[in-house]
Every structure is written in C-alpha cells, then in structure tokens.
Amino acid sequence: MNSLESRVALAGILLEKVRNERYPSSTQMTMIEQVLPPQLLSRYVEVLLEKVAQDERPSIPMLQRIQRVINAMP
C-alpha cells in the first residue's frame, strides 16, 4: 500500500465514523482534512452537509468547518 492508498484508507474509515455519529469528533474531522486527497474533498463535504441538514440548529463551528473546506476545494 502506497502513501496515497494509506491516506485514502484512513480517511475512509474516519469518514464512516463521522457519518455515523450524531455529533462527530472534531479531532477525527481534522484528521480527515489532513490526509484526504483533494479529489475526495467533495465526498467529505457531502457528509458534513448531511450532518447540518439533519440538525435543527447546526453548530457554528461545523458551518465554519464546511465553509473552510469548501474554500480549500480546487
């Protein structure tokens, strides 16, 4: 397994954890952002947007995180 494959694997595992948690860990989300290749950022944003859509009052830090990731997208 090369570096890219390892990063994608780790990000995939963490992404599923974030998807399945009502209130995902900010540490895990930060780790995803550190290893996720740019071509998979849209998948990550989709998961975060699902979280915001499901929450009656989404947290400002979550909205800011989404905005920051969107701004970093190519």
Query: In angstroms, rounded to a whole number, what is the distance separating the alpha carbons of residues 53 and 31?
Result: 23
- How many residues appear in the chain? 74
Give the domain ranges of the chain: 3-72
Give 15-45 pLDDT, tens digit per residue. 999 999 989 999 999 999 999 988 889 999 9
Task: For residue 49, give Cα distances in angstroms to 1, 2, 53, 64, 69.
Answer: 31, 30, 6, 12, 11
- Mean pLDDT, residues 37-54: 93
Q: What angle do CA 42, 70, 14 make, to 5 degrees?
A: 50
Give the C-alpha separation, 22 to 42, whole Å.
20
User: In this predicted structure, what is the pLDDT of residue 7?
Assistant: 92
The pLDDT of residue 73 is above 90 = no
